[in-house]
Amino acid sequence: MSGKFILRQSTGSCFTRIRAAAIPAILAASFMAIAPSPSRAAGLSASAHEAVLAALDDEYHAEAVYRAVIGKFGNVRPFANIVRSEQQHQLLMKRILVAYGKPVPANPWMTGKRKLSPLPSTLGAACRIGIEAEKANATLYNRQLLPKVKSYPEITSAMKALRDASQYNHLPAFERCAARMR
């Protein structure tokens, strides 16, 4: 198997290695069983709620940018693959909001409430923008979002998985793309 493995899951007497890319889906499945409850809604601090919304907005923005790149340059890799990943990341944050009884906002980048920056003129430049966006994503999670959810282990785990997918899967894909376009 290829790819970055960051988790080993016990399955009886043996261990199964799990790809970093699969972790958001695994976490999302675990949140599917959590029903909204008044105690959870009261238990999510304003700071933690803000962090989940900021993570969702970051994932919304990434999807909108990557869709715009696909619209301009065609169904090109890695954008076509990563846009699906961003949708899975959004789903995880949405499930957290629902689990805590919070409303899920629409994507303001897709509804036109927020505007994207102009796209670059070349696919190589778009890949370089992807590199910078994925690096900024790690900084956002590490410095701003994770400290706000440190008392919520399930949210912390979910956010770390999203950050890690970004760093170990998306960033290298954009770096390979930029190298191909030189």
pLDDT, tens digit, for every residue of 123-173?
999 999 999 999 999 999 999 999 999 999 999 999 999 999 999 999 999
* DSSP bridge pairs for 8: 17
Which residues are 14's β-sheet partners? 11
Structural domain for 156, as ranges: 23-180
Q: What is the maximum span of the chain, computed from C-alpha positions, in angstroms?
A: 54
Model confidence over 62-96: pLDDT tens digits?
Answer: 999 999 999 999 998 899 999 998 999 999 999 99
Helix (H) or strand (E) run with residue 7 in it:
strand 5-11
- The answer to the question of residue 66 being in a domain is yes
Contact 22, 9 (CB under 8 A): no
Looking at residue 155, which CATH number applies to its domain?
1.20.1260.10
Report CA dihedral (153, 29, 137, 145) to the nearest 10 degrees: -30
What is the DSSP pairing of strand 5-11 with strand 14-19?
Answer: antiparallel
Does the residue 60 lie in any domain?
yes
Asked whether residue 153 is assigned to any structural domain, the reply reads yes
Does some domain include residue 14? Answer: no
> What is the total count of domains within the chain?
1
> Taking the model in full, what pTM does it have?
0.78
